[in-house]
Amino acid sequence: MEKRFDFVMIGPPGAGKGTQRELLQNKYNLETVVTGDLIRELRAKAVDGDQLAIEIKKRYDQGIPQPDDVVIEAVRRKLSSLDLSRGVIFDAFPLSLAQAEGLEDLVKEFNLPKPIVFYVDITENESVERLSKRKLCSQCKRVFYPLSPNYDSNKCDVCGIELITRPDDKPEVVRRRYRQYLERMQALKQFYYEKGCLLRINGEQTVEDVFSEINDRLNDFLMRSK
């Protein structure tokens, strides 16, 4: 691409956002902001006496979601440490209307391009089907699906340790998470739809076909924006 762009990747549990984010990141040499990773990084800094990190650790350890203002401040700190000239892709941020408005402020503060938002969509049944079968390496956090190498051997091909199943990947839990996610996304999707930057992607395809659709929709969007 001749100029840099910033992207936002959102979608229901199991939609494959992380996989598509990595593909976009590699193709366009983007910096990344992954909310979950960012919160865990800051949690580890609590021992240094960082007040924000201490607050994050306290909520994290109690299983309490981080408030919108804390997430926004964590993202602001991360942005200040990145090479923003490369472009940035946000994974699982924003996740609420308040966070989207916070991102608007960060765009102005750091003089970023307005983000292009990919909503990778899958049905509730597909979400359950995918997540109920996935396994996780507890050390490197890689995710394995039935077609992934080493899935059947039940060992991570990088760490060599046994794969685990997350408690929140039980079908009844996945359904609850999916429905809660849709409720949270309604206002956010409308927000970006009205801005004309929301691109819906059919996530119920192969990884390669989803990525192909993302690139096709992106090219169409850029042509219309000229």
Sequence spans of domains, the chain? 7-123+198-225
Q: Is the pLDDT of residue 1 over 70?
A: no
Arithmetic mean of pLDDT, 101-105: 96
The set of residues, in sequence order, having a beta carbon less than 8 Å from that of 28 and lying 6+ positions away, is 1, 5, 87
Mind listing the pLDDT tens digit for each residue in 25-67?
999 999 999 998 899 899 988 888 889 999 999 998 888 889 9
Arithmetic mean of pLDDT, 77-90: 94
C-alpha–C-alpha distance, residues 160 and 86, integer Å: 34
Structure tokens at 215: 């690139």
Arithmetic mean of pLDDT, 194-201: 96
Under CATH, which architecture does the 7-123+198-225 domain have?
A: 3-Layer(aba) Sandwich (3.40)
- Strand 135-136 vs strand 143-144: parallel, antiparallel, or unpaired? antiparallel
